[in-house]
Amino acid sequence: MTTGDPGRPRTDRSPWNWLLVVPIVLPLLTFLYNADEPRLLGFPLFYWLQIAFIVVGVVTTTIVYRMTK
Amino acid sequence: MSAHTTELVVFILLFVLVSGMGFVASRWRRPTDLASLNEWGLGGRSFGSWVTWFLIGGDLYTAYTFVAVPALVFSAGALGFYALPYTVVVYPLVFLVLARMWSVSHVHGFVTPADFVRARFGSPTLALAIAITGLVATMPYIALQLVGIEAVLKAMGITGHLPIIIAFAILAAYTYQSGLRAPALIAFVKDALIYIVILAAVIYIPAQLGGWDSIFDAAKAKFDATPAPGDGFILNAGNQLQYVTLAFGSALALFLYPHSLTGVLASKNRNVIKRNMSALPAYSLVLGLIALLGFMAIAAGTKPVVGENGKADTNTIVPMLFDQMFPDWFTGVAYAAVGIGALVPAAIMSIAAANLFTRNIYREYINKNATDAQEAGVSKIVSLVVKVGAVLCILMLDPQFSIDLQLIGGVVILQTLPSVALGLYTRWFHKGGLLAGWAAGLAAGMWMLYLIPNPANGKQHFGGSAFGLSNLGFDTKMTIYAGFLALAVNLVVAALGTLLFRALKVADGEDATTRDDYFADEGDPKVKDLDLTGSH
């Protein structure tokens, strides 16, 4: 538990936090994925791209966690 | 009946195993004394990353989710897939917010979101409004878990309510004895079973049905053939806004539910929460695959069970698909996964509801000087009452009523966002403004839900959450999530109300928290006595 400098109040602000915006906004942009083609392993774009967004979410939150802990 | 004997035997064996674990759980990480809400209701606030992952995962991804999401995909197609973006968006969205909530709750010993509002805005009235909102939103959710178990039982050809009453009696008994430790321990079994079943399903079933290509083609053919405007293989011009606002609105609502916060507050430090926000999406992947079971059911030609009233119960579509595709013993495992999947969230929800009653009604209005032991005692009793209420809901009312209430619950719980979530960031709002916004948001939400019909089952009102913008005079077929609009009304009224109350110099409540409380971590000093000051 770091208490930091007594003079400097603790904060949860960090430029890394902006990365969190990416997985929040990306899944809400329907024009990116609202189509059948191209298919991947039989999955239409609508389904495989949204499943791929999970990876974006995991990667960005992991980076922010590691950089701000 | 005889056709389902193997399934039933496997189901009962696993159910008994888990019930045993529930009772043993009271000795797990045994504290010196279980008689306080910290221990009974929050497992000692000591759970590490793994336990928290299973606990929150077991809490959020409920049996009803497993049954209802694929049922929605089966009948409406792409729109039902909203559950996936919803659970992708939610974790980065609450990443920082929950860490703050944990810290301030750690310092002040808060057990419920209403505890926080009480201290932050110094208003017991606002806290009571938040607590009652939480209770109203949680109760039908517990009842819905029974709908999940019922769907499985129906698929095994079991009718009548006795099995559900027995299952809930056992659940009530071990929750009473072990508190939050019971669902935390059972969650391990629940999640292991769910992962095994889903992995098997997404490998085995497509192989039987000629691959993913033909599954999606069958779904496309079905939705192309129907004239209904709301469904489709991908989204259409009318429901894209609904899809996005439903996903985003549901994400905003998720951690406002008291039971989600229970899992968060039970973790031992800030890093456990942050780490979990990057690990919990593993469940989203499972949820996405579960949603696609709806398409598999289309491709396999699965038919839902037709109830006594002659109406097909689409909630039975996944159990029927398993029955059709899997060997009997594995169908039993799959059914047990759904059944146990109902027990974990039902236990956590009843604990959360009980804590709300104890902390924000009993302690506030009935016994101001309640001891820790008295609080735990009241919570244990209330957790029983809540479960009896849920069973009665299912026995005496049409299950459809619980489903409607759950739909309303999402819109209702969103109205606590300005006080609970924004309250973690700003003390700008006046307590009166927040109360006015809450009331206005609820009224607007109810009005919109009332206006929504469901042509599929002939309902005139409360037929869904897709509010037609044409109701507001726009010349369009576009729909939007009613909760989202209601929240907008809430925020505008709360802001205007705050300005008005300030201008009229109406007294505001005291803030019992300090800036540093929001960043405190494990080992930092706590406030021993609760800062529950302020007037009614």
| pLDDT value at B533 more than 60 | no
Distance separating alpha carbons of residues B35 and A68, to the nearest angstrom? 37
Range scoring the smallest mean pLDDT among B223-237, B339-353, B369-383: B223-237
Please tell me the predicted confidence (pLDDT) of residue A4.
Answer: 45
- Is B429 a residue whose pLDDT tops 70? yes
Q: Which residue has the higher pLDDT, B455 or B364?
A: B364
Test mutation, A3, A19, A24, A29, chain B, max B CBs within 10 A = A24
Rounded-to-integer distance, Cα B181 and Cα B39, Å: 9
Query: Which of A54, A62, A65 is closest, CB to CB, to B284?
Result: A54
Supply the angle between the helices B211-225 and B281-300 in degrees, to the nearest 10.
Answer: 70
The pair of three-digit structure tokens given for residue B528, joined into one six-digit string: 């021993």
Instruction: Round to whole Å and give the CA distance between B199 and B337.
Output: 13
Closest Cβ opposite residue B521 in set A1, A35, A44: A1
pTM of the complete model: 0.89
Please identify which residue in the block is written with the tokens 């990667």. A59
> CA of B91 to nearest chain A CA: how many angstroms apart?
8
Mutate: best of A54, A62, A63, partner B, most B CBs <10 A: A54
Q: Which candidate, B270, B319, B274, B251, places its Cα nearest to that of B60? A: B251
3-state DSSP: chain A helix, strand, coil percent, rounded to 5?
60, 5, 35
Q: What is the pLDDT of residue A6?
A: 53
Whole-number pLDDT of residue B216: 92
The predicted-structure confidence for B372-391, as pLDDT tens digits, reads as follows: 899 999 999 999 998 888 88
Predicted-complex ipTM score: 0.89
The H-or-E segment that residue B305 falls in is strand B305-306
Q: Residue A46: what pLDDT?
A: 94
- Residue identified by tokens 């029983």 is B384
Give the pLDDT of residue B118.
94
- Give the pLDDT confidence score for residue B440 in this predicted structure: 97
Distance CA B5, CA B335 (A): 13
Give the per-residue pLDDT at B2.
Answer: 55
Query: What's the confidence (pLDDT) of residue B300?
Result: 92
> Which residues neighbour B511 within 8 Å (Cβ) at sequence distance 6 or greater?
B119, B120, B121, B122, B427
Is it the case that residue B472 has pLDDT exceeding 90?
no
Is residue B193 within 8 A of residue B21, CB to CB? The reply is: no
Predicted confidence at residue B101, as pLDDT, reads 95
Describe the crossing of helices B181-208 and B49-60 by its angle, rounded to 10 degrees. 70
Q: Work out the angle at residue B520's Cα, subtended by the Cα atoms of residues B518 and B522, and round it to the nearest 5 degrees.
A: 140
B211 contact residues in A (CB cutoff 8 A): 42
In the predicted structure, residue B517 carries a pLDDT above the cut 80:
yes
Higher pLDDT, B236 or B357: B357
Q: How far is B240 from chain A (nearest CA, A)?
A: 7
Q: Picking from B42-46, B131-135, B155-159, B524-528, which range would have the lowest pLDDT averaged per residue?
A: B524-528
- Residue B115, by phi and psi: left (phi above 0), alpha (psi -120 to 50) or beta? alpha
Indicate the pairing of strand B312-313 with strand B466-468. unpaired
pLDDT at B475 over 70: yes
Percent share of chain B, pLDDT over 70 = 96
CB contact under 8 A, A46 and B234: yes
* C-alpha distance from B230 to closest chain A C-alpha (Å): 15
Q: How far apart are CA B274 and CA B292, in angstroms?
A: 29
Q: Which residue has the higher pLDDT, B248 or A1?
A: B248
What sign does the dihedral B346-B86-B322-B190 (CA atoms) show? Answer: negative
- Tell me the mean pLDDT in the region B122-126: 94
Helices and strands (H and E) in chain A: how many: 3, 0
B1: pLDDT confidence band, cut at 50, 70 and 90? very low
Region B439-456: what's the mean pLDDT? 89
Q: What is the mean pLDDT of chain B?
A: 88
Distance from CA of A41 to the nearest CA of B (A): 7
Residues of A within an 8 Å Cβ radius of B: 1, 9-12, 17, 20-24, 27-28, 30, 34-36, 39, 41-44, 46-47, 50-51, 53-54, 56-58, 60-62, 64-65, 68-69
pLDDT digits (tens, 9 = 90+) for B388-413: 888 887 787 776 776 777 778 889 99
Tokens of B345: 């969230």
Which pLDDT band holds residue B90 (cuts at 50, 70, 90)?
very high
Rounded Cα distance, B106 and B200, in Å: 41
Candidate from B173-177, B356-360, B439-443 with smallest mean pLDDT: B173-177
Helices (H), B226-369: 240-254, 258-265, 270-279, 281-300, 317-325, 328-357
The chain B residue lying nearest A48, using CA atoms, is B288
- Which residue bears the tokens 């992708």? B88
Coil/strand/helix, residue B268: coil
* pLDDT, position B528: 56
How many interface pairs between A and B have CB atoms less than 8 angstroms apart? 119
Instruction: Please give the distance of CA B376 from its chain centroid, rounded to a whole number.
Output: 23
Nearest by CB: B234 against A34, A62, A69: A34
Of B78, B100, B216, the CB nearest to A42: B216
**Gap from B250 CA to chain A (nearest CA, Å):** 13
B51-86 pLDDT, tens per residue? Answer: 999 999 888 888 878 888 898 899 888 988 998 999
| Distance of residue B331 Cα from the nearest chain A Cα, in angstroms | 26
Contacts of B246 in chain A (CB under 8 A): none
What is the token pair recorded at B418?
């300005």
Distance of CA B426 to the CA centre of its chain: 26
Burial class (CB in 10 A: 0-12, 13-18, 19+), B368: exposed
pLDDT-derived band at B205 (thresholds 50, 70, 90) equals very high
- Percent of chain B whose predicted confidence (pLDDT) is above 90: 42
Distance from B19 to chain A by nearest Cα, in Å?
34
Chain A residues lying within 8 Å of B212, measured CB to CB:
41-43
Residues in chain A with CB shorter than 8 Å from the CB of B205 are none
B285 contact residues in A (CB cutoff 8 A) = 51, 54
CB atoms within 10 A of CB B270: 21
For chain A, give the longest Cα–Cα distance: 59
